[in-house]
């Protein structure tokens, strides 16, 4: 059974580097023509888009804007436009912390309570080091906002974030035992900088950035020239793009505004052995001594067996990533302003072609493949496939159909697209040669799926869901004192829904064998609701959890 699980993971979670016919880069294309082709859906006056840059040995060899920075005022994307780089901001917060450590105003071993006396005493000493490396166990305040029904478009600042964080009754895990990404860590670092220096992170970083000649960059109420163009972020609604409201003012975990030109200056500091920026490249360790693939606000990993330094960012419609190959002194940057931009796919597709000379880039295929496939999959056919299938206890496959695309996801692993294979019940997995076949159609739903590959086949069975006649056992209002939030469950049109706060209503299904609900936020964060039942079999509460928040208790009123 263990080997079967491994085979399944290989099928769903690996993008094989096979030559494919869905898209092939013309070898006669220039680099610019190839990038233009990648961005062709975001390169007119009616769409937001991105600015892309390539730096080699300290020189910008390519930079170009695609689409609009501001649709209303017809401002185009360009290397001079200011973008919110979202979580890409964390490395700048970490840089500010290391500067205070150098001045001996902070220490990695200092505990949070030394600077924030209002922070809860969990009986665990959470240090500055824990915050920098995401080993604190502190719940992610942004996930808490979503789970409590608070809008990211509402007015919200660092004080609001701090109030939400200190209200939590427990940690996700003991500090130092694990590394789980949490935006709360960097909001707390911003507040600690404020308490230590008497200046906000925005004010304190101003001089640090000027020393690096990053004169157009800053946190929060950054200083810009009068004629600076600031990118607005957009969501896609049908064929149109709508601007997100810009009332969110929290920063430290995000909120850094910068330009392509300034990021090129920042990039050079990573090649200067005397630069204080070098300190953030030190990798963290867990209590057991295991080395992390995370520095301070920066990820240290490999791509195609080459070392990389990177950190993607996503908030509302803002998207960003710098993909750096330090051994080659090449960096690829993507700064976007639309929620349907995927900077990680774009930077890796460019790397495949420019860095590795791969004219059949699988990443490039991934950015285009949806244009040529799934046209024949109707909504009716898709609904016969969607649901949750079980490989073994707690190893589940979620098949979803959203925005015209079919996807599959194994428990704890990334989503992979499923593409039509000239057969109503067989689909290609990503850009591999592996396939998934659905079988045993009964009552309008396929009851079984099988992953087909040369290493062997893996079969999973559809899990049964709660029938409408039993909805009444779950309908009602559930409240969390800790979160000050209520989940209202109700039935409508023979389906089960819940609603919380300002979030849209969510249609859900209860897996009867697990007594569990799965739901997500725009495929960015997954959550589960595990119901508890009384002696009559009626739901009397639930535990709400996600990767970044665990064990929030709700009680039925």
Q: How large is the average pLDDT for residues 373-389? A: 82
* Distance from C-alpha of 388 to C-alpha of 394, rounded to nearest angstrom: 11
For the chain, what percent of residues have pLDDT higher than 70?
Answer: 90
Nearest to 126 by CA among 163, 168, 95: 168
Q: At what angle do helices 201-211 and 90-102 cross, to 10 degrees?
A: 80
From residue 503, how far is each of 7, 112, 151, 541, 546 by CA, in Å? 38, 32, 7, 20, 17
Structure tokens at 54: 């390539």
Q: What pLDDT, on the 0 to 100 scale, is given for residue 220?
A: 78
Task: Read off the pLDDT band of 421 (50, 70, 90).
Answer: confident
Task: Read off the pLDDT band of 431 (50, 70, 90).
Answer: confident
Place of tokens 């009397």: 540
Give tens-digit pLDDT for 21-68. 333 444 446 889 989 988 999 999 999 999 999 999 999 999 999 999
Task: Read off the pLDDT band of 222 (50, 70, 90).
Answer: low
DSSP sequence for 440-480: EEETTEEEEEEEE-TT--EEEEEPPB--GGGGGGT-EEEEE
- CA 465 remoteness from chain centre: 29
Structure tokens at 234: 């957009």
Q: How far apart are the first and last CA of the chain?
A: 43
For the beta carbon of residue 342, count every other beta carbon within 10 angstroms: 20
Phi/psi of residue 210, nearest 5 degrees: -65, -35
Structure tokens at 288: 């057991």
Task: Read off the pLDDT band of 424 (50, 70, 90).
Answer: confident
Q: How large is the average pLDDT for residues 404-410? A: 87
Which residues are registered as beta bridge partners of 293? Answer: none
Give tens-digit pLDDT for 243-302. 999 899 999 999 999 999 999 999 999 999 999 999 999 999 999 999 999 999 999 999
For the beta carbon of residue 147, count every other beta carbon within 10 angstroms: 28
Ordered alpha helix ranges (H), 305-445: 343-350, 362-368, 379-383
Please answer whether residues 498 and 508 qualify as being in contact, where contact means their C-beta atoms are separated by less than 8 angstroms: yes
Q: What pLDDT, on the 0 to 100 scale, is given for residue 221?
A: 60
Place of tokens 């500055």: 128
For the beta carbon of residue 243, count every other beta carbon within 10 angstroms: 17
Q: What pLDDT, on the 0 to 100 scale, is given for residue 9?
A: 37
Structure tokens at 48: 């937001």
Residue 139 DSSP class: P
For the beta carbon of residue 75, count every other beta carbon within 10 angstroms: 16
Nearest to 68 by CA among 44, 37, 36, 40: 44
For the chain, what percent of residues have pLDDT higher than 90?
Answer: 78
Query: Quick check: helix, strand or coil at residue 396?
Result: strand
288-292 contacts, C-beta under 8 A, 24 or more apart: 288/177, 292/133, 292/135, 292/179
Residue 191 DSSP class: H
Assess whether pLDDT exceeds 90 at residue 118. yes
* Distance from C-alpha of 517 to C-alpha of 552, rounded to nearest angstrom: 15
Cα-Cα-Cα-Cα dihedral sign, residues 204, 127, 106, 311? negative
């Amino acid at each position: 059974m263990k080997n079967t699980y491994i085979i399944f993971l290989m099928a769903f979670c690996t993008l094989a580097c096979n030559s494919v016919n869905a898209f092939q880069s013309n070898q006669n294309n220039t680099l610019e023509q190839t990038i233009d082709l990648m961005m062709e859906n975001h390169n007119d006056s009616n769409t937001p888009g991105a600015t892309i840059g390539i730096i080699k040995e300290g020189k910008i060899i390519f930079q170009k804007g695609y689409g609009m920075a501001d649709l209303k005022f017809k401002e185009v994307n360009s290397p001079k436009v200011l973008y919110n780089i979202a979580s890409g901001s964390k490395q700048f917060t970490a840089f500010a912390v290391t500067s205070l450590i150098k001045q001996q105003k902070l220490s990695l071993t200092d505990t949070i309570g030394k600077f924030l006396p209002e922070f809860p005493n969990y009986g665990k000493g959470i240090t500055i080091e824990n915050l920098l490396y995401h080993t604190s166990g502190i719940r992610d305040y942004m996930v808490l906002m979503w789970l409590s029904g608070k809008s990211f478009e509402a007015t919200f600042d660092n004080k609001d974030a701090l109030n939400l964080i200190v209200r939590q009754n427990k940690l996700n895990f003991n500090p130092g035992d694990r590394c789980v990404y949490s935006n709360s860590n960097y909001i707390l670092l911003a507040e600690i900088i404020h308490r230590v220096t008497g200046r906000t992170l925005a004010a304190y970083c101003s001089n640090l950035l000027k020393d690096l000649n990053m004169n157009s960059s800053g946190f929060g109420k950054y200083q810009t020239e009068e004629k600076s163009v600031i990118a607005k972020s957009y969501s896609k609604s049908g064929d149109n793009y709508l601007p997100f409201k810009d009332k969110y003012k929290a920063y430290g975990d995000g909120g850094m505004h910068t330009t392509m030109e300034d990021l090129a200056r920042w990039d050079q500091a990573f090649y200067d052995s005397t630069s204080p920026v070098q300190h953030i490249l030190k990798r963290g360790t867990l209590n057991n001594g295991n080395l992390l693939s995370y520095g301070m606000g920066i990820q240290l990993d490999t791509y195609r067996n080459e070392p990389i330094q990177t950190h993607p960012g996503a908030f509302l419609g803002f998207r960003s990533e710098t993909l750096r190959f330090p051994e080659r002194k090449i960096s690829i940057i993507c700064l976007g302003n639309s929620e349907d931009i995927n900077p990680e796919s774009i930077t890796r597709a460019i790397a495949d072609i420019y860095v590795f000379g791969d004219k059949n880039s699988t990443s490039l295929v991934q950015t285009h493949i949806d244009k040529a496939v799934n046209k024949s999959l109707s909504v009716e056919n898709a609904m016969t496939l969607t649901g949750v299938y079980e490989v073994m206890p707690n190893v589940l496959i979620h098949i979803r159909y959203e925005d015209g695309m079919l996807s599959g996801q194994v428990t704890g692993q990334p989503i992979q697209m499923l593409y039509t294979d000239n057969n109503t019940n067989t689909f290609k997995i990503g850009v591999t040669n592996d396939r998934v076949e659905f079988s045993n159609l009964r009552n309008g739903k396929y009851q079984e799926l099988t992953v087909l590959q040369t290493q062997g086949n893996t079969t999973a069975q559809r899990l049964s869901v709660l029938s409408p006649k039993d909805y009444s056992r779950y309908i009602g209002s559930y409240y969390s004192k800790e979160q000050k939030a209520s989940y209202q469950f109700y039935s409508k049109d023979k389906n089960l829904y819940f609603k919380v706060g300002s979030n849209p209503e969510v249609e859900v299904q209860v897996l009867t064998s697990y007594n569990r609900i799965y739901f997500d936020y725009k495929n960015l964060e997954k959550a589960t609701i595990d119901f508890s039942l009384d002696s009559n079999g009626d739901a009397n509460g639930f535990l709400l959890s996600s990767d970044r928040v665990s064990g929030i208790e709700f009680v039925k009123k």
